[in-house]
Amino acid sequence: MAGVRGSWGSTLGLAYAQAHPERVTELVLRGIFLLRRSEIDWYYNGGAAHIYPDLWESYLAPIPEDERDGDLVAAYHRLLTSSDPAVAQRAASAWTLWEQSTSYLLPKKPGNDDDAGDPRFDLAFASIENHYFVNHGFLDDGQLLADIGRIAHIPGVIVQGRYDVVCPTRSAWDLHRAWPSAALHIVGDAGHASFEPGIKHHLITATDEFADRSA
């Protein structure tokens, strides 16, 4: 089985490959997220606020002021699981908007995202992500790097936007250092989204090359 995964999908792809290396023939990973506490704290607990202070205010808005200096992922969990549907929906919309607004190096034009503003999508998206984050993805911190030896023999390609705020380049670099046989492409004019031209180019090139090898 070949795997092409990005962001949270890169987490799942690595976890699956390490659990079942005999079932994976190659991996193409984009926007690396290793589910380390440092990565969650960066994006959801204030690090990225230094780059997007205006958007960060909207992310903070649903959280009571006396909880804003603590663990915001835990605060969101309480809101997203509230018995009051309006409270849960407001939190879900703010969480999802934060991600959608910071994923592209150049902001998308309004109306280009089919899921933007869909309350059902927002609630599902935020609730699922938050559930895994408050449970540390059911992984030990740093586990995906510690177990990299299980997939050292599997061909891999890592594609990373240089200005990815959601999943900063540090994680892609750490993965590449632990798994040096995997090719790393850092795209100098891209953020997090897979549809940015440079990211898309390297993903297509990698999948085409692996398809040619197996033909």
Q: Give yes or no: 20 in active site.
A: no
Pair 73, 126 in one domain: yes
> Among 81, 111, 138, where does a domain finish?
138
66 with 96, same domain: the answer is: yes
| 133 plus 208 within the same structural domain | no
**pTM score, whole prediction:** 0.90
Low-confidence stretches of the chain (pLDDT < 50) are: none
Catalytic residue (choose from 7, 10, 127, 171): 7
Let me know whether 75 and 102 are in one domain.
Answer: yes
Q: Dump pLDDT digits (tens) for 152-190.
A: 999 999 999 999 999 999 999 999 999 999 999 999 999
Residue 201 annotated in active site: no
Q: What is the CATH number of the domain that holds 200?
A: 3.40.50.1820
What's the pLDDT at 2? 55
State whether 133 and 146 are in the same domain: no
pLDDT of residue 213: 82
Q: Which of 77, 176, 185, 192 is catalytic?
A: 192
Do 136 and 37 touch, CB atoms closer than 8 A?
yes
Euclidean distance between CA atoms 55 and 171, whole angstroms: 23
Are residues 112 and 181 located together in one domain of the fold?
Answer: no
Domain interval for residue 167: 2-35+141-214
Residue among 77, 93, 103, 164 flagged as catalytic: 164
Who's near 97: CB < 8 A, 6+ residues apart? 55, 58, 59, 122
pLDDT, residue 164, reads: 97
Please identify, among 77, 105, 138, the residue that sits at the C-terminal boundary of a domain. Answer: 138
Residue that is last in its domain, among 94, 115, 138: 138
Clarify whether 164 is annotated catalytic: yes
Q: Are residues 10 and 82 in the same domain?
A: no
The residues, ordered by sequence, that sit 6+ positions from 186 with a Cβ below 8 Å of its Cβ are 160, 161, 162, 169, 172
Number of domains in the chain: 2
